[in-house]
Amino acid sequence: MSSQSAPLSPSTLTERHYELLVQAVVDYAIFMLDPDGHIVSWNAGAQRIKGYEAGEVIGQHVSVFYTDEDRHSGKPRQLIERALHDGRAQDEGWRMRKDGTRFRALVVIDVIRDEAGMVIGLAKITRDITDRHEADMRYDALRAQLFQAQKLEALGQLSGGMAHDFNNLLTIILSAAKLASRANNPERLASLLASIQDAGERGAQLTRNLLTFARCEQMPRRLVDLNELLDAAYAFISQALPKTMKLQMRFAPGLYRVELDPGQLEMAVLNLVLNARDAMQGNGVVQLHAENRTLHGDIDGLHGEFVLISIIDHGTGIDPAIRARLFEPFFTTKDIGKGTGLGLSQVYGFARQVGGCVHVESVPGQGTTMILCLPMAGGESAVAGVRTC
Ligand SMILES: Nc1ncnc2c1ncn2[C@@H]1O[C@H](COP(=O)(O)OP(=O)(O)O)[C@@H](O)[C@H]1O
Ligand SMILES: [Mg+2]
């Protein structure tokens, strides 16, 4: 502006000033259209973003900036009609520069009326958001990749855990079948076949549990006689140990009845026995003791009547440094393929779900006792089960 011009103030603003303002904006393409969509004005921003000089586009139809696809689908006309009808239209999409390259545009079209309310044209403001759009796309792609990776990891871990559990059951089935093929005593044969059937049913139970878990359903519970259950589980659990190891079970008569899913309890005991086996490196005796006990907060703050099932080994013991992580899903100190880190997290989840706990006593180099505390059915200690998911 020349030195003779009056300084800007609300009272000295003229149409020319507004024109200069619009012209000075370079980050936005600001131009006007007649009601049919022909370009009637052009600013510096429009020239910068779209690459056309004013003389090249004034008089042309706005559809010149649209992609062939959008032109064929009638998008330019639809946007103008929407603006004329609603007073305003907005759009985000691809537009073409003069040199044929595409840019991502955020577009607002407003209707302009004269004092009498007659439509005299349309104001169109376009912003080039290509950079932001590309960053968003990269972010979305990264997020999708991460989600996929997490899903694959969880899936891998889950199938690893399942394979581990199925493998234990298959070991039982195969070794019992091998023994059965050589057995000539009918009683022995019947007992081995019963073990095979039992392990097969547990496999079916395992898949049922997994499906229940996947469907996010409450586990079925029933009143369980622990003396009966542990008696029946002996053959099944001892089959999981190598010949060089023994399972010694001792449980008091008249154990309290408990209300739980028996399949889950068997799996928890099996997981504890398998850990004892691994800790003892294939040699020695694993003890399983069960007794009724009144707790007064002495084990994990529990009060009331409980059945305590202890699995005792004289293995490596547990390093105090990893005690806090034992129940974390996927925490394992075993080699790849030997441990999934899912055993204790199943035991923990199950115990909490029935209102009990798992208590660890361990001396490095001497051995470990894992105590599963289960509340007596109907007792004050029994709390309502929680959903697992
Ligand atoms: N009886 C035990 N003696 C020594 N360490 C144990 C015992 N039980 C569990 N652990 C430790 O806890 C870890 C987690 O056990 P778990 O969740 O069953 O997973 P995994 O057996 O697949 O490693 C084991 O890797 C091991 O380091
Ligand atoms: Mg384990």
pLDDT digits (tens, 9 = 90+) for 305-319: 999 999 999 999 999
CA 155 to ligand 2 center in whole angstroms: 19
CA 326 to ligand 1 center in whole angstroms: 7
pLDDT digits (tens, 9 = 90+) for 136-165: 888 777 766 665 555 555 555 556 566 777
Any atom of ligand 1 within 6 Å of the Cβ of 130: no
Would you say residue 2 has pLDDT above 70? no
Given ligand 1 and candidates 314, 316, 344, which is best to mutate, with the most ligand atoms within 8 Å of its CB? 344
Cα–Cα distance list, 42 to 48, 63, 120, 347 (Å): 11, 15, 17, 72
Q: Are 190 and 163 spatial neighbours (Cβ–Cβ below 8 Å)?
A: no
| Residues 6 or more apart whose Cβ sits within 8 Å of residue 356 | 302, 306, 372, 373, 374, 375
- Rounded Cα distance, 362 and 369, in Å: 6
Any atom of ligand 1 within 6 Å of the Cβ of 369: no
Q: Whose CA is nearest to atom 21 of ligand 1?
A: 339
Indicate the residue type of 87.
Answer: G
Q: Whose CA is nearest to atom 8 of ligand 1?
A: 275
Any atom of ligand 1 within 6 Å of the Cβ of 330: no
Tokens 């139970």 label which residue? 205
Tokens 């690893």 label which residue? 160
Any atom of ligand 1 within 6 Å of the Cβ of 339: yes
Which spans in 280-382 are helix H? 343-353
CA 98 to ligand 1 center in whole angstroms: 68
324 or 155: which carries more pLDDT confidence?
Answer: 324
Burial 93-130 (b: 16+ CB within 10 A, else e): eebbeeeeeebbbbbebebeeeeeeeeebbbbbbbbeb
Would you say residue 324 has pLDDT above 70? yes
Any atom of ligand 1 within 6 Å of the Cβ of 276: yes
Indicate the residue type of 248.
Answer: Q
Tokens 């796309």 label which residue? 137
- Rounded Cα distance, 132 and 237, in Å: 61
Domains of the chain: 10-128 (3.30.450.20), 220-389 (3.30.565.10)
pLDDT score recorded for residue 9? 77
> Residue 128: helix, strand or coil by DSSP?
strand
pLDDT digits (tens, 9 = 90+) for 44-99: 999 999 999 999 999 999 999 999 999 999 999 999 999 999 999 999 999 999 99
Any atom of ligand 1 within 6 Å of the Cβ of 332: yes
Q: Are 347 and 372 spatial neighbours (Cβ–Cβ below 8 Å)?
A: yes
